[in-house]
Structure 1
Amino acid sequence: MKKRNRLNSLAVIFSAMLVALMAVALVSCDNELDVQQGYPFTVETMPVATRIIKGETVEIRCELKREGRFSDARYTIRYFQPDGKGTLRMDDGMVLLPNDRYPLDREVFRLYYTSECEDRQTIDIYFEDNSEPAQLFQLTFDFNNETEDEEAEEDDGKTGFHWGGDTLVAKPLLDIDTIAICE
């Protein structure tokens, strides 16, 4: 009889543990899949020149950094120019029009801004994804325009090279006329 009571008590304990385990498993499960379709992102750039002259082009190297991957994620780019006048184009040659949205089909790309005026210029570039709600990332670039005369005046002679338009111009580090040779 003792053996039978012992088996019955073990069966009751085992049954109670099994019922408790099933209850926990059924309560914690959810029938709906939790699929994340939007991940935060940023756009990183290399340093960009802030002083340009009319007609000069500045390169903006960009990289889209995503915190997660979703196969149907799509990104777009658009820009506004609140100050000044210029053109912005992609590295494939496509000229972007202000306020129009364009698909961004790669994560590493370059933008080229060409100054078309002698005033201060600002461009705001917006990147947006297709998640609900859409996430937006903004880059702002300010360019202080200068004339070619101002560029020559600001060059203080401490470096042997300076940028002249699109080319690197060498200038002498020493003025030959001011050097005295001792005999």
Structure 2
Amino acid sequence: MKYFIIYPSLMKGIMKKRNLLSVLLIGCFMLISCSKELDIQTNFPFTLEIMPVPSKVISGEIVEIPCHIKREGFYQATEYSIRYFQHEGLGSLMLQVDKPLKPNKQYKIPLDSFKLYYRPKSKESHKFQIWVSDQFGNEKTAEFDFN
């Protein structure tokens, strides 16, 4: 019978090679699982804050409606737009004085803080709703009711 004798120095060399091979394999698996693309969040929810407005309006008098878009996060390329629909009454809604908005048409909002102007053209009650949205599908709505 022949016996194989493994010398301690030879055993240490085999263990070092095995450990090195294990480290290399683990490193390869880690590199394969990594993605080279950065995950940048662009879609942030927001709230629409509207300052109090008078409940009664006079025909022909302009009512100022201060609004602010409060973002939960910031992505510079986010664009907001507004549209509106009037349910009752006759009047015009404006982003700038003397430039009335058309119902159900999207208009770009230039800044996070903006003012709407409403000019009633009749003495009856006025009801309209606005929708503020971004290009990611987030949308907030507000309803106004003037007597």
Q: Same fold (TM over 0.5)?
A: yes
The alignment status of 1:24 with 2:30, answered yes or no, reads: yes
The alignment status of 1:137 with 2:143, answered yes or no, reads: no
CA-CA distance at 1:35 after TM superposition: 4.3
Q: Which residue of 2 aligns with 1:181?
A: none
User: Identity over the aligned pairs, expressed in percent?
Assistant: 33
What is the TM-score of this pair, normalised by structure 1? 0.66
Q: Distance in 2 between matches of 1:93 and 1:118?
A: 20
Q: Which residue of 1 aligns with 2:8?
A: 2
Q: Deviations over 1:89-122 (max 9, x none)?
A: 1246432122222111111111111222222211
Report if the CA contact (8 A) 1:128-1:136 is conserved.
Answer: yes
Correspondence 1:114-153 to 2 at 5 A: 114-131=119-136, 134-143=137-146, 145=147
Q: Deviations over 1:108-149 (max 9, x none)?
A: 111111222222211111112223xx3322111111x2xxxx
Q: How many residues align?
A: 141
Q: Distance in 1 between matches of 2:65 and 2:8?
A: 86
The alignment status of 1:44 with 2:46, answered yes or no, reads: no
Instruction: Return the match for 2:64 from 39, 46, 59.
Output: 59
Instruction: Return the match for 1:74 from 73, 79, 82.
Output: 79
Q: Distance in 2 between matches of 1:92 and 1:121?
A: 19
* Secondary structure, counterpart of 1:69 in structure 2: coil
Q: Distance in 2 between matches of 1:7 and 1:93?
A: 87
Q: Distance in 2 between matches of 1:93 and 1:26?
A: 61
* Secondary structure, counterpart of 1:139 in structure 2: strand
CA-CA distance at 1:48 after TM superposition: 1.8
5+ residue gaps, structure 1, are 146-183
Aligned-residue Cα RMSD (Å) equals 2.2
Report if the CA contact (8 A) 1:91-1:109 is conserved.
Answer: no
Q: Distance in 2 between matches of 1:129 and 1:123?
A: 20
Q: Which has the higher relative contact order, 1 or 2, with Cα contacts under 8 A spaced 6 or more apart?
A: 2
What is the TM-score of this pair, normalised by structure 2? 0.79
* Secondary structure, counterpart of 2:115 in structure 1: strand
